[in-house]
Amino acid sequence: MAFGRLDKKTNSAPMADINMTPLIDVMLVLLVIFIITAPLFTHAIRLDLPKVSSQPARETPQTVTLSIDDAGKLFWSDTPVTFDQMRARFADAGKSAQKPELHLRASSATRYDVIAQVMGAAQQAGLERIGFVTQPAKPQQPARAQ
């Protein structure tokens, strides 16, 4: 450890700075140790669980599919509805004991204010579970060398 400076003066005070190099070396050694040992902790225990045929534990709630096209037209399960009819159907669905899930299918060109109005009407009716239906992205094919 260095307690002084290289220049030797008669009135030079001891150096008060902490040497960070040994601390960084210890940190890097610990990091390497953790990187090497981390995969060892993720082992799986193989179990042969019993197979039992029974009824499912919970019922899946009913779903309501509402589609919105580019022009903002609404479709309740593929049947066209107006905004007022949609509000009435939301109110009926919100009064049921088990509230359904709302699957909202909107075109990518649909205006945001139409989607916001639909979501607001669903929340006012008591429908709390709203999901957006999307299409999965197509996997990109690697470029071929020519």
In this structure, what CATH number is given to the domain that contains residue 124?
Answer: 3.30.420.270
22 versus 52: the higher-pLDDT residue is: 22
Does the residue 142 lie in any domain? no
Q: Is the pLDDT of residue 4 over 70?
A: no
Decide: 131 and 118 in contact? Cβ < 8 Å.
no
Domain count, the chain: 1
In a domain, 29, yes or no: no
Task: Give dist(CA 46, CA 32) in Å, integer.
Answer: 29
Strand, helix or coil at 83?
Answer: helix
Q: Considering the chain, what is the average pLDDT of its residues? A: 78
Residue-range definition of the domain harbouring residue 103: 63-132
pLDDT at site 33: 93
Q: How far is CA 36 from CA 27, 30, 42, in A?
A: 14, 10, 12
- Cα–Cα distance between 32 and 27 in angstroms, integer? 9
Q: Return the sign of the alpha-carbon dihedral for residues 36, 38, 41, 43.
A: negative
Residue 128 resides in a domain: yes
Q: Indicate whether 110 pLDDT > 60.
A: yes
pLDDT at residue 57 in the model: 47
State the pLDDT confidence band at 134, using cuts at 50, 70 and 90.
confident
**Pairwise CA distance, residues 83 & 29, whole Å:** 64
Task: Please give the structure tokens belonging to residue 16.
Answer: 């008060």
Closest to 93 (Cα-Cα) out of 57, 133, 129: 129
Residue 124 has pLDDT above 80, yes or no: yes
Residue 46 has pLDDT above 80, yes or no: no
